[in-house]
Amino acid sequence: MVIVFFALLACSDKGSDSNGTEGDADTDTDSDTDADSDTDTDTDTDTDTDTDTGLPPELWDADTVVVDASFAYDESTGELVVISDGKTTYDPLVYFTLLNFADVSKSSVPTQYCFVLWDVAGVPTPAAEFKSFWTSIDLVGLPMTFDDGTDGNCEGMSTIFGDARGSKESLEDFVDSQDFAFGIHSIDDVDSLIISDWRSFWSSAGYDKLYGSWRSVEPSIAAGAFSSSITKWAPGDADVMVAYEVDSTKWTLSVDSSGDLVPLDLSAATTIPTGFYSSIAMYYYGTGF
C-alpha cells in the first residue's frame, strides 16, 4: 500500500480549491483527491523509529493528512467492535497518514511520513463538532501506535500543519494536542460540489473497476470526515465509507454464494446501522500543495 499510495500521490494533480479553507497561523488548508485504492492499514511489522545509530532523527514538517477508518458497528450497544472474515480478525481502527507533501510527491524514496493508528474499540466518546453526524469518535486519549512503514520517520515529525512540537513533548502528547476526531454521516449530507468531484474521481482513479460504478455503489456508501483543533474546515469530508452486512451473532462478515462481501443498503438510513464500514480515501487535506 505504501508504494502504491506514494506513486499515485505523486501523479495526482486534481485539486478542489472550492473546498480549500484557511487554518490558523495563516496556513492555507486545501483538500485534494487521493488516489490510494488500498484501504488496508498495511502496517508491516516494524513500529520502531530506528534510532539505533545514536543520531537524532531528521526533523520534518507534516503538512498533509490522509484519513482512513475501518470498523464494525453494533447499533444495539453503540459499540465499535472486532469482526472476522473467518480467517482474519479486524480491530476497529482510525488511521491517519501524516506526511510532507513535497517529500512524498517528489522524492523517489520518501521518508517524511508517519502512520498513526488509533484503537477505537468500545463505545466512542462523541466529538462536539459532529452534532449532525451518525456517530463520531473523539480520538484524544485513545490508545495510539505509530508505524514508520518502509522508510518513514515518525519520531522526526516536528510540526503538524505548522503547529510545533515541544522539545520534550512525546509523540503521543503531540498528536493528542491536535484534538483529532473522526465522524461518519449520510452521503446525502455531503456538499453537492464534493459529490460531483468524488463521482468524477471515482472513475478516473479506477474505483469503478474495483467496486462498480458510482451509481451502483452509492446506496451502500456513507461519508467519513475528520476535524482538528487548528483547522477551520472542520469537519472536512475525506472518505467514502463502504458498508457491508455482518452476522452480528458471530461478528463475522456476511458473504454471498460467490464468496463476495454483501453490500449494506444505507439509502433509507437515518442513523448508522449495524454493519462493517471501510474507508476509501477521496481527499487529502493540508497546507503543502
The DSSP annotation for 95-131 comes to: EEEEE-HHHHHH-SS---EEEEEEE--BSPPPPGGGT
Taking the C-alpha atoms of residue 51 and residue 272, their distance in angstroms, rounded to an integer, is 43
Q: Which residues pair with 81 in a beta bridge?
A: 72
pLDDT at 69 over 70: yes
Mean pLDDT taken over the chain: 85
pLDDT tens, position by position, 211-263: 999 999 999 999 999 999 876 667 999 999 999 999 999 999 999 999 999 99
Confidence category of residue 147, pLDDT binned at 50, 70, 90: very high
- What average pLDDT does range 102-117 have in this prediction? 97
pLDDT of residue 85: 95
pLDDT at 48 over 80: no
pLDDT of residue 118: 98
- What average pLDDT does range 94-105 have in this prediction? 97
pLDDT of residue 195: 97
pLDDT of residue 34: 52
Taking the C-alpha atoms of residue 177 and residue 216, their distance in angstroms, rounded to an integer, is 40
- What average pLDDT does range 165-193 have in this prediction? 97
Confidence category of residue 30, pLDDT binned at 50, 70, 90: low
CB atoms within 10 A of CB 61: 22
Contact between 232 and 21 under an 8 Å Cβ cutoff? The reply is yes
pLDDT tens, position by position, 262-282: 999 999 999 999 999 999 999
pLDDT of residue 161: 93
pLDDT at 33 over 80: no
pLDDT of residue 39: 40
Confidence category of residue 56, pLDDT binned at 50, 70, 90: low
Q: Pick from 278, 237, 280: which is nearest to 72 by CA? A: 278
Q: Pick from 172, 178, 173, 182: which is nearest to 160 by CA? A: 178
Confidence category of residue 57, pLDDT binned at 50, 70, 90: confident
pLDDT at 1 over 50: no
Confidence category of residue 90, pLDDT binned at 50, 70, 90: very high
pLDDT at 140 over 70: yes
Contact between 73 and 135 under an 8 Å Cβ cutoff? The reply is yes
Q: Which sequence spans correspond to the domains of the chain? A: 2-37+60-286
Q: Above pLDDT 90, what percent of the chain? A: 77
- What average pLDDT does range 118-147 have in this prediction? 97
Q: Which residue has the higher pLDDT, 101 or 36?
A: 101
**DSSP string computed for 166-178:** PTT--HHHHHHTT
pLDDT at 165 over 90: yes
pLDDT at 130 over 70: yes
